[in-house]
A and B are shown apart, each in its own frame.
Chain A
Amino acid sequence: DAGVIQSPRHEVTEMGQEVTLRCKPISGHDYLFWYRQTMMRGLELLIYFNNNVPIDDSGMPEDRFSAKMPNASFSTLKIQPSEPRDSAVYFCASSLSSGNNSPLHFGNGTRLTVT
């Protein structure tokens, strides 16, 4: 199994530009999560999907952030327009179910730098 695949690994962009982060979950996993990691706030859950449907987006910081999951094997997180304070590492994770015996599997993350 290839694991959760994220792209790109690194993204450097200028303030005001649109940024799109991509994720391919593990095949067969019903849950997909987007997290943001910063030194100040640690790991924050932004949004999660169950069977491609967004369940809870209360962690999405602003309307500039949006996430989609058009099918079971692909999700995007978009920031438009981007700002320097969005600089962080963004992780995608998937899990088979919501039970305690179904751990989260994380991708290697996308390091976003907004200048």
Chain B
Amino acid sequence: GNSVTQMEGPVTLSEEAFLTINCTYTATGYPSLFWYVQYPGEGLQLLLKATKADDKGSNKGFEATYRKETTSFHLEKGSVQVSDSAVYFCALKAGGGADGLTFGKGTHLIIQP
């Protein structure tokens, strides 16, 4: 079956540090890949996506590249801010059905000033 594995948190960094949150996946076919972010007390919001191999998704300074050879979609940001503190979810969508969205367990990111 399909699955997403994320690095466990919490991840604690200082402001302006470089961020990497690892994500690897297992899926049949050629899935689309997503990062969602959940701020405290809120629902998940789409952060970025990539729909085919070697695509790079980017938004708000975050980037992730779809690596088919390593089945990975690591999230990166060059300089984090306190406002980036949130829980980040990697997800995949395999096939055309709406039920194909599979989430990882989430990584809690804490940015200290």
Contacts and interface: CB of A to CB of B under 8 A. Distances in A.
Interface of A: 4, 31, 33, 42-43, 45, 48, 50, 55-56, 91, 93, 95, 98-101, 103-104, 106-109
A43 B45 CA distance: 14
- Complex A-B, nearest 6 residue pairs according to Cβ-Cβ distance, in ascending order: A106-B43, A42-B105, A98-B98, A103-B46, A100-B32, A43-B103
A101 B89 CA distance: 18
Q: Which of A95, A99, A104 has the most CB of B within 10 A?
A: A104
B13 interface: no
A88 B27 CA distance: 28
Interface residues of B, number: 22
Contact of A45 (B49, B101, B105): B101
Contacts of B89: 43
